[in-house]
Amino acid sequence: LTLQILTGLFLAMHYTSDTTTAFSSVAHICRDVNYGWILRYLHANGASMFFICLYLHVGRGLYYGSYLFKETWNMGIILLFAVMATAFLGYVLPWGQM
């Protein structure tokens, strides 16, 4: 999570959110910013690894019967959907021009 926050902050320093220049700013980060390409790939692959760990955590909860604690399980599911929504918003930032 810390890797995602740090790389996201560094990427946000060079990102432009205008609909016409969003993809160009992503290309600029990869081509012109020093080590921008590695920041972008760390951020993208870090998101995948975060979700792998998240799904393993849910699977472990199912295996050990943690769903019997209703309040804790429901809060975990709410957090899962919040993380999924955040990931979706991050995915659509380049405005579908990837």
pLDDT in tens, 29-49: 999 999 999 999 999 899 999
pLDDT at res. 63: 95
- pTM value is 0.78
Structurally, the chain folds into a number of domains equal to: 1
Asked if residue 96 is part of any domain, the answer here is: no
Asked if residue 9 is part of any domain, the answer here is: yes
Per residue in 42-88, pLDDT tens? 998 999 999 999 999 999 999 999 889 999 999 999 999 999 999 99
Q: Which residue has the higher pLDDT, 16 or 74?
A: 74
25 pLDDT exceeds 90?
no
- Report the amino acid identity of residue 52: I
Whether 25 and 13 have beta carbons less than 8 Å apart is answered as no
Asked if residue 97 is part of any domain, the answer here is: no
Asked if residue 71 is part of any domain, the answer here is: yes
Asked if residue 68 is part of any domain, the answer here is: yes
95 pLDDT exceeds 70?
no
Domain carrying residue 9: 2-91
CATH number at residue 30: 1.20.810.10
The per-residue DSSP string of 59-92 comes to HHHHHTTGGGSHHHHHHHHHHHHHHHHHHHHHHT
Asked if residue 33 is part of any domain, the answer here is: yes
98 pLDDT exceeds 60?
no
